[in-house]
Each structure stands twice: as C-alpha cells, then as structure tokens.
Amino acid sequence: MMTCCFSFKSSSTCPSFKNIRVVHLNGCLEEFDDPLAVSEVTGNPSKHFVFTYAQLVSPSLENLKPDTILELGKFYFMIPHSTFQDFSSFDLVCMARRLAVIAKKGHCKGKGKSKKKMSSPEANRCCNRFSERGMKVWKPDLSTIREMSFNKRGESDLQEISFEKRNSL
C-alpha cells in the first residue's frame, strides 16, 4: 500500500519572530511589536500598497485594505504604487521571493532594523534606493514601424524599379 504525506508551512509566518515585519521594495525591514493597521504603516495619504506574500504572488494582486490589522508573527510587503506600472507579474514574483528571505532572516540591507513607523518621505527614500542599486526596469521600444501593404509595392521597391528602367535605357 502506498501512502503520501504533505506538509504545508505558511510562507508569511515564521516561528522565529514574534513581531510584525514589513519589508520595503529595496529590502529595508521595519519591525513592530504591537498590532497596527495598514494605514498606520503606509501613512496618509498612502503612496504604497501592503501585501502578504500570497497576495503579492497571486494573479489577482489584491492588496490589504487600510483598516486591516497586521498580525504578530507575520511579514508583509510595502510596495509603492508606481511599481505596478514598471514591473511584470513575473518580476513581482521574483521580487517577492527575495524580499521574503529578508523578512524571514530579519536582517536589512539598508540602515538596519526599525522599531518605529517610518514617515512617508523616509519610506519613499528607502524605496528609491532600490532603483539606485542597479535594478533595471524594462521599457518598451516605441519607435515607429513602417508598414507595407501586400497589394502595393513599397517605396523602396518603386525606387528600385525606376533605377532599373533608367539603367536599361
């Protein structure tokens, strides 16, 4: 008889920490000792979204509402609104994996751990440093493409024909 056993460990919970961890786009980590609402982390007016890992990697990409209370022992991601214009869903999944490692390990590439809420300008500066580290954002090439009809000859074809006629005379 064959049996199968599955084990599932939530990616946003980690037994090694008892506080709330909020990871910024650039890897800066904030820690909070008491439960608080999303709006307290993002500030007002908010220029960031807060996600759990599962939300960030899901195709629907629904962020936490401003009145949602963040839970102790879990980590969250604070991502600027502008990020979703520049990154594909694949980029977001890769980014979420890297940021989850930082959240689980509890160290920060930035200034260090913070036990207090960051102000909005500080949070923006924190996230702007990510782009300074060499992260290149894909931008489309919007140069003009000349099209040619299948029924008509193109401009270069007509020039070639007139050149051939002149040479044959």
pLDDT for 9-48, tens place per residue? 444 444 466 888 888 888 888 888 888 899 888 888 788 8
Does residue 56 sit within a domain?
yes
Region 137-151 average pLDDT? 73
Residue numbers of the domain that contains 31: 20-132
pLDDT band for 157, please (50, 70, 90 cuts).
low
Does residue 145 sit within a domain?
no
In this structure, are residues 14 and 69 in contact, taking their beta carbons and an 8 Å threshold? no
pLDDT on residue 15: 47
Does residue 153 sit within a domain?
no
Does residue 157 sit within a domain?
no
Does residue 45 sit within a domain?
yes
pLDDT digits (tens, 9 = 90+) for 39-72: 888 888 788 889 888 888 887 778 899 999 999 8
Kindly state the greatest CA–CA separation across the chain: 92
Does residue 2 sit within a domain?
no
Burial class (CB in 10 A: 0-12, 13-18, 19+), 59: exposed
Question: How many folded domains does the chain comprise?
Answer: 1
- Alpha-carbon distance 52 to 56, whole Å? 6
Does residue 112 sit within a domain?
yes
pLDDT on residue 69: 92
pTM reported for the whole predicted model = 0.52
- Alpha-carbon distance 94 to 96, whole Å? 5
Does residue 165 sit within a domain?
no
State both tokens at 50. 């807060």
